[in-house]
Protein backbone atom coordinates (compact mmCIF):
# COMPACT_ATOMS: atom_id res chain seq x y z
CA UNK A 1 0.00 0.00 0.00
CA UNK A 2 1.38 3.39 -1.02
CA UNK A 3 -0.28 6.58 0.20
CA UNK A 4 0.05 9.98 -1.41
CA UNK A 5 0.20 12.59 1.35
CA UNK A 6 -2.05 15.52 0.42
CA UNK A 7 -1.19 18.58 2.53
CA UNK A 8 -3.57 21.51 1.95
CA UNK A 9 -1.97 24.87 1.32
CA UNK A 10 -3.01 26.51 4.60
CA UNK A 11 -1.70 23.52 6.57
CA UNK A 12 1.61 23.78 4.72
CA UNK A 13 1.88 27.52 5.35
CA UNK A 14 0.55 27.87 8.90
CA UNK A 15 0.52 24.46 10.60
CA UNK A 16 3.38 22.35 9.22
CA UNK A 17 3.58 20.52 12.56
CA UNK A 18 0.21 18.90 11.78
CA UNK A 19 1.51 17.74 8.40
CA UNK A 20 4.63 16.28 10.04
CA UNK A 21 2.50 14.54 12.68
CA UNK A 22 0.32 13.03 9.94
CA UNK A 23 3.38 11.70 8.11
CA UNK A 24 4.95 10.27 11.27
CA UNK A 25 1.71 8.67 12.41
CA UNK A 26 1.16 6.92 9.10
CA UNK A 27 4.75 5.71 9.06
CA UNK A 28 4.42 4.35 12.61
CA UNK A 29 1.45 2.33 11.38
CA UNK A 30 3.54 0.75 8.62
CA UNK A 31 2.26 2.80 5.69
CA UNK A 32 4.55 3.75 2.82
CA UNK A 33 4.00 7.48 2.35
CA UNK A 34 5.03 9.68 -0.58
CA UNK A 35 4.73 13.47 -0.63
CA UNK A 36 4.36 14.86 -4.16
CA UNK A 37 6.32 18.13 -3.97
CA UNK A 38 4.46 19.89 -6.81
CA UNK A 39 1.08 19.88 -5.07
CA UNK A 40 -0.71 23.17 -4.53
CA UNK A 41 -4.20 24.34 -3.50
CA UNK A 42 -7.02 21.92 -4.31
CA UNK A 43 -9.25 24.79 -5.43
CA UNK A 44 -11.69 24.80 -2.54
CA UNK A 45 -11.52 28.57 -1.78
CA UNK A 46 -12.38 29.41 -5.39
CA UNK A 47 -15.20 26.88 -5.56
CA UNK A 48 -16.68 28.02 -2.24
CA UNK A 49 -16.71 31.60 -3.55
CA UNK A 50 -18.61 30.68 -6.70
CA UNK A 51 -15.66 30.36 -9.07
CA UNK A 52 -15.41 26.60 -9.53
CA UNK A 53 -14.99 27.17 -13.26
CA UNK A 54 -11.55 28.61 -12.47
CA UNK A 55 -10.32 25.45 -10.73
CA UNK A 56 -9.53 23.39 -13.84
CA UNK A 57 -5.77 23.81 -13.42
CA UNK A 58 -6.04 22.78 -9.75
CA UNK A 59 -7.88 19.63 -10.82
CA UNK A 60 -5.35 18.85 -13.54
CA UNK A 61 -2.40 19.25 -11.19
CA UNK A 62 -4.08 17.20 -8.47
CA UNK A 63 -4.55 14.32 -10.90
CA UNK A 64 -0.96 14.59 -12.09
CA UNK A 65 0.26 14.40 -8.51
CA UNK A 66 -2.03 11.81 -6.98
CA UNK A 67 -3.82 9.59 -9.51
CA UNK A 68 -1.27 6.75 -9.31
CA UNK A 69 -1.46 6.16 -5.54
CA UNK A 70 -3.44 3.43 -3.81
CA UNK A 71 -4.83 6.03 -1.41
CA UNK A 72 -4.61 9.79 -0.94
CA UNK A 73 -4.72 10.95 2.69
CA UNK A 74 -5.00 14.49 4.06
CA UNK A 75 -5.31 16.05 7.54
CA UNK A 76 -8.23 18.23 6.41
CA UNK A 77 -11.86 17.16 6.17
CA UNK A 78 -12.94 20.22 4.17
CA UNK A 79 -10.28 19.80 1.47
CA UNK A 80 -10.95 16.06 1.24
CA UNK A 81 -14.67 16.68 0.85
CA UNK A 82 -14.02 19.26 -1.86
CA UNK A 83 -11.87 16.83 -3.84
CA UNK A 84 -14.38 14.00 -3.37
CA UNK A 85 -17.20 16.16 -4.71
CA UNK A 86 -15.53 18.47 -7.21
CA UNK A 87 -12.49 16.79 -8.76
CA UNK A 88 -13.28 16.50 -12.47
CA UNK A 89 -11.38 15.92 -15.71
CA UNK A 90 -13.47 16.54 -18.85
CA UNK A 91 -10.99 14.65 -21.02
CA UNK A 92 -10.66 11.68 -18.65
CA UNK A 93 -13.68 11.41 -16.32
CA UNK A 94 -12.86 7.81 -15.39
CA UNK A 95 -9.49 8.87 -13.99
CA UNK A 96 -11.08 11.63 -11.93
CA UNK A 97 -13.75 9.28 -10.60
CA UNK A 98 -11.18 6.66 -9.60
CA UNK A 99 -9.00 9.28 -7.91
CA UNK A 100 -11.96 10.76 -6.01
CA UNK A 101 -12.75 7.33 -4.60
CA UNK A 102 -9.24 7.01 -3.16
CA UNK A 103 -9.17 10.28 -1.20
CA UNK A 104 -9.51 9.96 2.58
CA UNK A 105 -9.39 12.28 5.53
CA UNK A 106 -6.81 11.02 8.05
CA UNK A 107 -9.26 9.83 10.72
CA UNK A 108 -11.49 7.91 8.30
CA UNK A 109 -8.39 6.34 6.74
CA UNK A 110 -7.21 5.13 10.15
CA UNK A 111 -10.61 3.75 11.14
CA UNK A 112 -12.05 2.55 7.82
CA UNK A 113 -8.99 1.41 5.85
CA UNK A 114 -6.26 0.58 8.37
CA UNK A 115 -8.85 -0.36 11.03
CA UNK A 116 -6.54 0.80 13.81
CA UNK A 117 -7.29 -0.78 17.20
CA UNK A 118 -4.28 0.40 19.23
CA UNK A 119 -2.14 3.53 19.26
CA UNK A 120 1.14 4.03 21.11
CA UNK A 121 0.18 7.58 22.03
CA UNK A 122 0.06 9.55 25.26
CA UNK A 123 -1.55 12.95 25.81
CA UNK A 124 -2.44 13.55 29.50
CA UNK A 125 -4.83 16.47 29.07
CA UNK A 126 -8.53 17.34 29.00
CA UNK A 127 -9.59 17.60 25.37
CA UNK A 128 -12.75 18.90 23.71
CA UNK A 129 -13.60 17.83 20.16
CA UNK A 130 -14.82 20.38 17.65
CA UNK A 131 -16.85 18.55 15.01
CA UNK A 132 -16.26 20.42 11.77
CA UNK A 133 -19.26 20.74 9.48
CA UNK A 134 -17.45 19.19 6.53
CA UNK A 135 -16.24 16.26 8.61
CA UNK A 136 -19.57 15.71 10.34
CA UNK A 137 -22.14 16.35 7.64
CA UNK A 138 -19.99 15.80 4.56
CA UNK A 139 -17.74 12.86 5.42
CA UNK A 140 -19.98 11.46 8.22
CA UNK A 141 -17.13 11.06 10.67
CA UNK A 142 -19.65 11.16 13.53
CA UNK A 143 -23.39 10.98 14.04
CA UNK A 144 -25.29 14.26 13.82
CA UNK A 145 -27.07 15.08 17.08
CA UNK A 146 -30.27 16.17 15.32
CA UNK A 147 -30.85 12.68 13.95
CA UNK A 148 -32.72 9.97 15.84
CA UNK A 149 -29.98 7.44 15.20
CA UNK A 150 -27.33 5.48 17.07
CA UNK A 151 -24.38 7.68 18.06
CA UNK A 152 -20.86 7.05 16.77
CA UNK A 153 -17.70 9.09 16.37
CA UNK A 154 -14.56 8.07 14.52
CA UNK A 155 -12.45 10.81 16.18
CA UNK A 156 -13.64 9.66 19.62
CA UNK A 157 -12.88 6.05 18.68
CA UNK A 158 -9.24 7.01 18.06
CA UNK A 159 -8.86 9.46 20.93
CA UNK A 160 -10.06 6.80 23.36
CA UNK A 161 -6.91 4.86 22.46
CA UNK A 162 -4.65 7.69 23.69
CA UNK A 163 -3.20 7.11 27.13
CA UNK A 164 -3.98 9.79 29.71
CA UNK A 165 -6.40 11.72 27.51
CA UNK A 166 -9.71 12.80 29.05
CA UNK A 167 -12.50 13.82 26.68
CA UNK A 168 -14.76 16.58 27.98
CA UNK A 169 -18.49 16.60 27.27
CA UNK A 170 -19.75 19.74 25.53
CA UNK A 171 -23.21 21.27 25.81
CA UNK A 172 -23.53 21.53 22.02
CA UNK A 173 -21.16 18.89 20.62
CA UNK A 174 -21.65 19.47 16.90
CA UNK A 175 -22.37 23.18 16.52
CA UNK A 176 -20.64 25.12 13.72
CA UNK A 177 -17.72 27.33 14.77
CA UNK A 178 -18.60 29.99 12.18
CA UNK A 179 -15.43 29.82 10.10
CA UNK A 180 -17.00 28.65 6.85
CA UNK A 181 -14.07 29.55 4.60
CA UNK A 182 -14.83 32.88 2.95
CA UNK A 183 -17.95 33.19 5.15
CA UNK A 184 -15.71 34.51 7.94
CA UNK A 185 -14.72 37.37 5.63
CA UNK A 186 -18.15 38.14 4.18
CA UNK A 187 -19.97 37.80 7.51
CA UNK A 188 -17.26 38.63 10.01
CA UNK A 189 -19.50 39.59 12.95
CA UNK A 190 -21.65 36.47 12.70
CA UNK A 191 -18.58 34.29 12.26
CA UNK A 192 -16.86 35.72 15.34
CA UNK A 193 -19.96 35.35 17.52
CA UNK A 194 -20.34 31.71 16.51
CA UNK A 195 -16.66 31.11 17.24
CA UNK A 196 -16.95 32.76 20.65
CA UNK A 197 -19.87 30.48 21.48
CA UNK A 198 -17.80 27.40 20.63
CA UNK A 199 -14.88 28.61 22.71
CA UNK A 200 -17.18 29.35 25.65
CA UNK A 201 -18.57 25.81 25.53
CA UNK A 202 -15.06 24.34 25.80
CA UNK A 203 -14.04 26.76 28.55
CA UNK A 204 -17.18 26.03 30.55
CA UNK A 205 -16.57 22.28 30.43
CA UNK A 206 -12.91 22.41 31.43
CA UNK A 207 -11.06 21.68 28.18
CA UNK A 208 -7.32 22.32 28.10
CA UNK A 209 -7.15 21.64 24.36
CA UNK A 210 -9.58 21.89 21.47
CA UNK A 211 -9.00 19.40 18.69
CA UNK A 212 -10.58 18.77 15.30
CA UNK A 213 -10.07 17.09 11.94
CA UNK A 214 -10.11 20.55 10.32
CA UNK A 215 -7.33 23.06 10.94
CA UNK A 216 -9.37 25.77 9.23
CA UNK A 217 -11.88 25.61 12.09
CA UNK A 218 -9.07 25.40 14.63
CA UNK A 219 -7.38 28.45 13.09
CA UNK A 220 -10.60 30.41 13.59
CA UNK A 221 -11.02 29.23 17.18
CA UNK A 222 -7.33 29.76 17.91
CA UNK A 223 -7.62 33.42 16.90
CA UNK A 224 -10.47 33.92 19.34
CA UNK A 225 -8.58 32.10 22.09
CA UNK A 226 -5.56 34.37 21.55
CA UNK A 227 -7.70 37.51 21.64
CA UNK A 228 -9.24 36.32 24.89
CA UNK A 229 -5.77 35.53 26.27
CA UNK A 230 -7.04 32.04 27.02
CA UNK A 231 -4.74 29.25 28.19
CA UNK A 232 -6.65 26.74 26.06
CA UNK A 233 -4.74 25.56 23.00
CA UNK A 234 -5.97 24.39 19.59
CA UNK A 235 -4.28 21.27 18.20
CA UNK A 236 -5.00 19.06 15.21
CA UNK A 237 -6.04 15.50 16.03
CA UNK A 238 -2.98 14.11 14.19
CA UNK A 239 -0.70 15.79 16.73
CA UNK A 240 -2.54 14.11 19.60
CA UNK A 241 -2.61 10.69 17.97
CA UNK A 242 1.12 11.01 17.28
CA UNK A 243 2.03 12.35 20.74
CA UNK A 244 4.19 10.25 23.05
CA UNK A 245 4.61 12.48 26.11
Rg (CA), the chain: 18
Does the pLDDT value for residue 163 go beyond 90? yes
Higher pLDDT, 215 or 182: 215
pLDDT at position 43 is 83
3-state secondary structure of 189: helix
148's enclosing H/E stretch is none
103-127 tens-digit pLDDT: 999 999 999 999 999 999 999 999 9
3-state secondary structure of 128: strand
* Half-sphere exposure for 73 (CA within 13 Å, toward CB): 29
Does the pLDDT value for residue 221 go beyond 90? yes
pLDDT at position 14 is 93
- 95-99, 176-180, 208-212 — which is least confidently predicted? 176-180
- In this prediction, residue 53 has a pLDDT band, given cuts at 50, 70 and 90, of confident
- In this prediction, residue 235 has a pLDDT band, given cuts at 50, 70 and 90, of very high
Sign of CA dihedral 23, 76, 114, 210: positive
Mean pLDDT of 206-232: 95
pLDDT at position 215 is 93
- In this prediction, residue 44 has a pLDDT band, given cuts at 50, 70 and 90, of confident
Does the pLDDT value for residue 50 go beyond 90? no
Amino acid sequence: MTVGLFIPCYVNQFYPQAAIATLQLLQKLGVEVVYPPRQTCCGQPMANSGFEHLTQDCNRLFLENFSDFDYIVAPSASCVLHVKQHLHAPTNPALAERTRSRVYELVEFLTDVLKVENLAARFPHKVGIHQSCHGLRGLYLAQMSELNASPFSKPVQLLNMVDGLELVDLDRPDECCGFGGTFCVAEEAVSVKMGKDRVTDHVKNGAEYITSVDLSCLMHLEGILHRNKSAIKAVHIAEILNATV
